[in-house]
Structure 1
Amino acid sequence: MPPRRTTHTDFTDHASTSLTEITSGSYRLTAGFSQVKGIGIGNFFMSPKFTIGGLEWYIKCYPEGYYAKDKGKYVSLYLSYASETEVGVIFEFCLLDQLGNAVTSLRSRNTHTFRMHGKYKGWSKFMKRDDFEKYISDDHFEIICGVMIISPKSLAEPNNCLIVVPPSDLPDQLGQLLRSKESADITFVVGGEIFYAHKLVLALRSPVFKAELFGSMKENHAEKIVIKDMEPIVFKALLHFIYTDSLPEEKELSSDVEGLDAQKILTIMMQHLLVAADRYALERLKLMCQEELSKNISAATVATTLALAEQHNCPQLKATCLEFATTQDNYFRMASTDGYKHLVLSCPSILKEIEEKHGATTFVEDFAEQADDDISHDHMFSLLKLFRCNRSKK
């Protein structure tokens, strides 16, 4: 099924003048698919150099993906910097169909800083390659890259207007307030770690914190609150969002854990943060977590994400997980995970939806035939028993 059509930011096409007049622009890349097909995983081609905001850029495209672990299933896109002056940007990539409409679009969540020539940022999983190829027309595909310049002021050309309004630094200032602990009037103990915060900030951002700290709940006069059932790193990320309205950098969320790659660690963090966002009624954070989870679905994590989507009222995330889980190959791989056992026990109705959506009644028999060394006979039997018990309740 082709991806859902999405809208994208209206960046000025191809052109940008001085930063004080226009701070955004876009570039349209048209490329021949047959010339890059079979280029190999980890190999890329670059667009011609283009200029936006007085700075030079390239598009780096990996037609068969950036990472070997993705096995060529995705197209990767990156914005590459070709100038030397430090600059902050927000950027977006859009794939166009034959009529020039955007069929998929990804925009950077935060402002990214490019400090030197050759640096690049983007998405390793911009789009599944099978879906991407459906929009190739006459052996060509088109991508628009939109760039919005946030800084620096030093690039601005002289003009008659001497008033320059800088970007808001309120998130940075509030973030510094959190880090400095200045005037903090509430302490949280989470998993043995201590966090300092400000009641007014918490109350303004979260109706749950407002009720706890200023309502009739017992915590409203407390100076120290113990938070249970949450990891310290998750609570730290929660506070970061409350003060800055953004997620922490990925490197802060995905610290090294032996046996797990960074992407899986990040997915697990987003799962925990989704639960925390729902707990404190932070709807924007909840949507941001759903966005990250929907972009990085895998057989190893989809069952847990699907259970969370069901339990925390995330219908769009649930639909995305179901679309992934109801293909036969993905289902067999998902069924060998511990997350699947939790899904069956906590959300048995999900299995009915899988069955109704894609005729999964045949999965049970096929699963028994295709079980491999990764699935023990006892484990397989318990999964099949749970599946059949669920079906018998229909």
Structure 2
Amino acid sequence: MTSSNIKTTSTCYPPEVVQGTHVFDILGYSKHRGLGAQSFVRSGVFSVAGHDWAILLYPDGYGVELADGMDFISAYLRLLSTGDKVHVSCDIRLVDPATGVSKSAQPALVTMRVLDPKESRVLHCMMIPRNELEGTYVKNDRLTMECVVTVRKEPRVSKTRVFPRIKVPASDIKRQLANLLHEKEGADVMFSVAGEIFTAHKVVLAMRSPVFKAELCGPMSQTGKQPIVIEDMQPDVFKAFLYFIYTDSMKGSDDLEADYQSENCEMIHHLLVAADRYDIARLKLICQSILCKNIDVRNVATTLALADQHHCDRLKDACIEFMSCLSTMNDVVATQGYQDLARTSSSILADAEGRIAKLRKCC
């Protein structure tokens, strides 16, 4: 099973701020007073950041100042456009007619707010005492206001891109080592197995097997050019054995156990013997696992004998547990493997029968 981790990237840029100033001149200021509570004077429509706005000035006061009986004049910014929410602030600056200099009427109200066209479209920008406004900023019945509107747009986010990466191919050392075995380049040792010649590399064999290391690199190593004769092993078994030594796998199978069923168990028997003989623990354990999965009535006695002979305690336990689960041993006793075991190694059977009796008693 493979997994991949795809890394992506995007960038959020600082929000753009757009500012516009609208100058609102109110001539005949006094004529706009006394029209009643909540009456207002509206500026012309002006545009900032793609939105339309207007200033509303309430000469007779509006809202909370009326309710509390205070004599204040208020101004509001009104959003006329429809659409999305807008982040906005408004600074009402009153122009001093004596100097021409404008001054923020109420700096505390100059904060960024959100106007939602679906709910509230007005922003309170100014609330100033009447006597201050009219005494300082109204001259010749004229009031001049500068409305500085600041709109903060939504931050721009770049398109998501796949982060650059360098793909590393799967390891092919298994294929390279298999080619090394097959092509025989640099081979420095030969074996004769039932008359068939095999070539190999001492360093690979010594690295994988302490027995081969002693035979090929130790003080008693065979250094001649003559092939080393391997007794009691068939060529096809030795070939499969060498392939495992080089690749740590069985030929034609990435899953070391999946492709081996009961019809292949004879080869697995021979490989287990070879693994025990040359002290290759992983191969020996793999062979035990395969044989354990394929235990049946016909081969359990043979497998038990093999496990005992080659010190495979876990496989031996599996055989005894299998037999303890059988309702009757008659079918096992009738097999040739059981007859051979009874004739050659009765002590193994005696030990197995004693353990089976204990297991059944526990159940």
Q: TM-score, normalised by structure 1?
A: 0.47
How many Å apart are 1:263 and its aligned residue? 3.4
User: Contact between 2:208 and 2:280, CA under 8 Å: does it hold in 1?
Assistant: yes
How many Å apart are 1:166 and its aligned residue? 2.0
Aligned equivalents of 2:184, 2:328: Cα separation in 1: 47
1:210 aligns with 213
Matched to 1:168, the amino acid is S
Pairs within 5 Å for 1:171-186: 171-186=174-189
Is 2:22 the counterpart of 1:19?
Answer: no
Gaps of 5+ in 1: 1-10, 23-157, 254-261, 361-394
Q: What secondary structure does 1:281 align onto?
A: coil
Aligned equivalents of 1:175, 1:320: Cα separation in 2: 34
1:190 aligns with 193
Matched to 1:293, the amino acid is L
User: Contact between 2:197 and 2:227, CA under 8 Å: does it hold in 1?
Assistant: no
Q: 1:340 to 1:312 in 2, by over 3 A?
A: same
Aligned equivalents of 1:172, 1:334: Cα separation in 2: 43
2:336 aligns with 338
Q: 1:299 to 1:183 in 2, by over 3 A?
A: same
Aligned equivalents of 2:162, 2:343: Cα separation in 1: 67
User: Contact between 1:307 and 1:346, CA under 8 Å: does it hold in 2?
Assistant: no
Note the aligned Cα RMSD (angstroms): 2.8
Aligned length: 202
2:301 aligns with 303
Q: 1:286 to 1:334 in 2, by over 3 A?
A: same
User: Contact between 1:185 and 1:198, CA under 8 Å: does it hold in 2?
Assistant: yes
Is 2:243 the counterpart of 1:244?
Answer: no
Between Structure 1 and Structure 2, whose CA radius of gyration is higher? Answer: 2
How many Å apart are 1:223 and its aligned residue? 4.1
Residues 197-249 of structure 1: CA deviation (Å, up to 9, x unaligned): 11111111111011111112352445411111011111111101100011123
Pairs within 5 Å for 1:269-288: 269-288=267-286
Matched to 1:324, the amino acid is F
User: Contact between 1:185 and 1:223, CA under 8 Å: does it hold in 2?
Assistant: no
Aligned equivalents of 2:191, 2:263: Cα separation in 1: 25
Q: 1:316 to 1:330 in 2, by over 3 A?
A: farther
Aligned equivalents of 2:324, 2:215: Cα separation in 1: 42
User: Contact between 2:321 and 2:356, CA under 8 Å: does it hold in 1?
Assistant: no
Residue identity (%): 50
Aligned equivalents of 1:288, 1:267: Cα separation in 2: 12
Residues 266-308 of structure 1: CA deviation (Å, up to 9, x unaligned): 1111111101000000000000101111111112221111111
1:107 aligns with none
Q: What secondary structure does 1:242 align onto?
A: helix
User: Contact between 2:276 and 2:284, CA under 8 Å: does it hold in 1?
Assistant: yes
User: Contact between 2:320 and 2:356, CA under 8 Å: does it hold in 1?
Assistant: no
User: Contact between 1:213 and 1:221, CA under 8 Å: does it hold in 2?
Assistant: no
Q: What secondary structure does 1:188 align onto?
A: strand
Matched to 1:291, the amino acid is S
How many Å apart are 1:332 and its aligned residue? 2.1
2:167 aligns with 164
Gaps of 5+ in 2: 8-160, 359-363
Aligned equivalents of 1:275, 1:321: Cα separation in 2: 18
Aligned equivalents of 2:333, 2:225: Cα separation in 1: 46
Matched to 1:287, the amino acid is L
Is 2:250 the counterpart of 1:265?
Answer: no
User: Contact between 1:278 and 1:286, CA under 8 Å: does it hold in 2?
Assistant: yes
Q: TM-score, normalised by structure 2?
A: 0.51
User: Contact between 2:214 and 2:221, CA under 8 Å: does it hold in 1?
Assistant: no
Q: 1:20 to 1:165 in 2, by over 3 A?
A: farther
Comparing both chains, which one has the higher relative contact order based on Cα–Cα distances under 8 Å and sequence gaps of 6 or more?
Answer: 2
Residues 94-123 of structure 1: CA deviation (Å, up to 9, x unaligned): xxxxxxxxxxxxxxxxxxxxxxxxxxxxxx
Q: What secondary structure does 2:198 align onto?
A: strand
